[in-house]
Amino acid sequence: MEHKKRVDIVKLEMVKEASLKYMKRVVTNPLEVGELIRDFIGNPDREVFGILCLDTKGQPTHLSKVAIGDLNCAIVHPREVFKIAILSNAASVILFHNHPSGVEFPSEEDKRITNRLKESGDILGITILDHIIMGDANCFSFRSKQLL
C-alpha cells in the first residue's frame, strides 16, 4: 500500500494588536514620521527595525516591528520587511529603525540594506518613500539627504 504525501492548505491573516492615534491623516515630512515612530517603539535598549505602510493617498495604514536586534544591529531581510506591506496592500512604505547609541546617522550597513530593500520594493511595485533612523533627540531621513 502506497502512502500519499500531504500538503497543508493554509491562509494568511493579519491580526490587529492595537492602534495608535496620530494628529494628521497624511504624514508629509520626516519629523511627523519620527513622532509617530517614537510613539510606537518608545526608547528601547536594542535596535528595532520596522515598517510604516501607506495607502495610495499617503495615509498610514499599518505599523509593524519587523526585527528586534541587539545593542547595535538587527537582522533585516526583504522577505520579512515586505510580508507586512503585501498583506496590508501598501502602495508605499517608510522604513524605520532606532540607534540605541543615540546617534542617528546611518552606518554603511544601514545604507546597504536600504538599497537592497529599495531594489526589492521596485520589483514588487511597492515604493520606499523614506528610511528614518531615530536617535536620542533627532531623526535622520534618507530621502531628505538624497540617499534614497
User: What does the pLDDT read at residue 17?
Assistant: 77
pLDDT at residue 49 tops 90: yes
* Amino acid type, 132: I
- pTM here? 0.85
Instruction: Note the pLDDT of residue 146.
Output: 87
Please classify residue 141 by burial: count the beta carbons closer than 10 Å to its beta carbon, then call 0-12 exposed, 13-18 middle and 19+ buried: buried
What region does 58 belong to: left with phi over 0, alpha with psi -120 to 50, or beta?
left
Q: How far is residue 33's CA from residue 142's CA, in Å, rounded to a whole number?
A: 13
Tell me, what DSSP letter sits at residue 2?
P
Tens of pLDDT along 84-113?
Answer: 999 999 999 999 999 988 888 999 999 999
Q: Which three cell numbers stand for residue 142?
A: 534618507
How many other CB atoms are there within 10 angstroms of residue 127's CB atom? 14
Q: Sorting pLDDT into bands at 50, 70 and 90, what band is 139?
A: confident
